Chain A
Amino acid sequence: MARYGMLIDTTKCIGCYTCRTACQRQNDLLPTEDFIRFEQREVGEFPDASIENVPLQCMHCEDAPCAQVCPTGAAHMGADGIVSVDQGRCIGCLYCMAACPYQVRVRNPQTGAVDKCRFCTVSAEQSGTKMCSCVEACLTGARIFGDLDDPDSEIVREIARTKAAPIAGDLTKAKVFYVR
């Protein structure tokens, strides 16, 4: 069974938000609903200072805190390791939003249910898109999607080469890796 993950190279990210827009289009999100949250911060000291752009999204944690606290079982982990929200079960109590250490879950203002990055499982099943649209849309090639269990995959090789790591270490066994 594949164990899907993503690598995001923040040294390549220019903060253009194209991934976010592509994601909103692909997943038919409302203009106020975004699955990718951008953080910016200054790194280094003068004269070697720069701005680091960090796009944050659902990390599809193996220890998913959202699924642990969800009272209705709407937030759950599928057999493929992708964490998803069953929109028909969610009551909108927002417990998962409080439990998520990354604040990457959003409430759909129309339905009141909580939603978040789906690793584009919907598009992959329905229209056969191979990759997440954010990966395809990225202008600088900062994103790589792939199988973390396949030693020959591009993502596994790049994680090893760049020493990429989950943004908060071992906190939740996240499957999104960052080069910083």
Chain B
Amino acid sequence: MTFEPVWGTIIAWYLFLAGLGGGAFITAAYLHLRAPYAVHLIRYGRIIGPVAVCIGLVLLIFDATAGFHNPLRFIFLLTNFGSVMTWGVVFLAAFVVVALIVLVMDLLGKGRKVPLWLDVVGAALGLCVCVYTGCLLGVAKTFPLWNNALLPVLFLVSAVSTGMAAVLLVGIFRSPKEFSSVADLKKFHFWLPVVELFLVASLLFVTASSAESAGYASVMNLLAGDCSPAFWLVFILLGLVIPTLLEWKMLFMSSKEVEESRTGHMISATSDVLVLVGGFTLRLLVLVAAMPITIVQPWM
């Protein structure tokens, strides 16, 4: 049997956008705490957060065809609290509400009126959203590539990384001065793809030695199978290694003048775009490369 992935591109977009939205809001809350003078960057994070999550939710509703045709059925989503998806609905709903309140307060009060505690609550909910996207897949025993404790951590790191990249990217073009002033955030952002590289390597090592042969098959799918060009070229090289090298050059090897020049900013922007591309590719690869522990497989 050739296995058709249950979830495809639409769900990959959703997982990516939910993580990006949560990560962007976390970035805004972090800036509120550490760099409150960066009012524009904070505002970009507060806009990107709920907007990205809402776009993801629209995709999700559209993909759930039976519910899309009968919207009242979505009320049933709150009936089985043993399901990770039900918890996801709770976290997503709470996050969107808090994030929109923060956004409205920000826009009305010029960014000075949002209390820190509200940002912290929103960031905590954003964190829950990011981790939930990993747990959603993590509890499916069918797929050894998903059914492990590393995946939610990997998704969380990738989510925060893409969220920060989105905020910084908008910042480069809209408020380059503020972008240059948040060195702390950029150093934090630099380390995330590095951590991700180690998490991906660990995930693949552990999955390949899973008791089920499907684990090995999934890893081989990524490393040497149909998914390998996307895995090596797009995710590992473009999405993780090149941004790490570019940011390393900008943050640690270049003079302040170069870092704050237009060229420097364009290099940072390239790096951020690549992080976003890598984040989406990661979600898509995890969805399509996972092989099920089906009993009868042609190659067994």
Query: What does DSSP make chain A's interface, helix, strand, loop or mixed?
Result: loop
Q: Which of chain B's residues have a CB closer than 8 A to the CB of A94?
A: 6-7, 64
Closest chain-A Cβ to B217's Cβ sits at a distance in Å of 14
Q: Which of chain A's residues have a CB closer than 8 A to the CB of B137?
A: 98
CA distance A74 to B63 in the complex (A): 17
Which of B80, B140, B142, B295 is A73 in contact with, Cβ under 8 Å?
B80
What number of A residues sit within 8 Å (CB to CB) of B?
37
Q: Are B84 and A74 in contact (CB under 8 A)?
A: no
Chain A 69-107 near chain B by CB (<8 Å), digits 1 or 0: 111111000000000000011111111011111110001
Q: Are B73 and A91 in contact (CB under 8 A)?
A: yes
A102 with B294, Cβ < 8 A, contacts A71-B86, A91-B66 known: yes
Contact of B292 with A by CB under 8 A: yes
CA distance A68 to B168 in the complex (A): 40
Q: Which of chain A's residues have a CB closer than 8 A to the CB of B263?
A: none
Q: Which of chain A's residues have a CB closer than 8 A to the CB of B292?
A: 101, 103
| Contacting residues of chain A (1-46) with chain B, CB-CB under 8 angstroms | 37, 39-41
A101 with B65, Cβ < 8 A, contacts A41-B300, A54-B295, A71-B77 known: no
CA distance A91 to B82 in the complex (A): 17
Q: Are B7 and A69 in contact (CB under 8 A)?
A: no
CA distance A168 to B300 in the complex (A): 14
CA distance A114 to B1 in the complex (A): 20
Contact of A120 with B by CB under 8 A: no
Closest chain-B Cβ to A74's Cβ sits at a distance in Å of 7
Q: Which of chain B's residues have a CB closer than 8 A to the CB of A73?
A: 76, 79-80
Closest chain-A Cβ to B34's Cβ sits at a distance in Å of 37
Which of under 10, 10 to 19, 20 to 34, or 35 or more describes the interface residues of B? 35 or more
| Contacting residues of chain A (128-179) with chain B, CB-CB under 8 angstroms | 167-168, 171
CA distance A96 to B190 in the complex (A): 38
Q: Which of chain B's residues have a CB closer than 8 A to the CB of A114?
A: 66
- In this complex, what residue of B is CB-closest to A111? B66
Residues in A lying within 8 Å of B, measured CB to CB: 37, 39-41, 54, 56, 65, 68-74, 88-95, 97-103, 107, 111-114, 167-168, 171
Q: List 30 A-B contacts (CB under 8 A).
A: A37-B1, A39-B295, A54-B295, A56-B296, A68-B82, A69-B139, A71-B85, A71-B86, A72-B79, A72-B80, A73-B76, A88-B70, A91-B66, A91-B70, A91-B76, A91-B77, A92-B65, A92-B66, A92-B68, A95-B136, A98-B137, A98-B142, A101-B292, A101-B293, A101-B294, A103-B142, A111-B66, A112-B68, A167-B295, A168-B295
Q: What are the nearest 10 A-B pairs in CB distance?
A: A112-B65, A91-B67, A92-B66, A72-B76, A39-B296, A112-B66, A71-B85, A113-B66, A73-B79, A92-B65
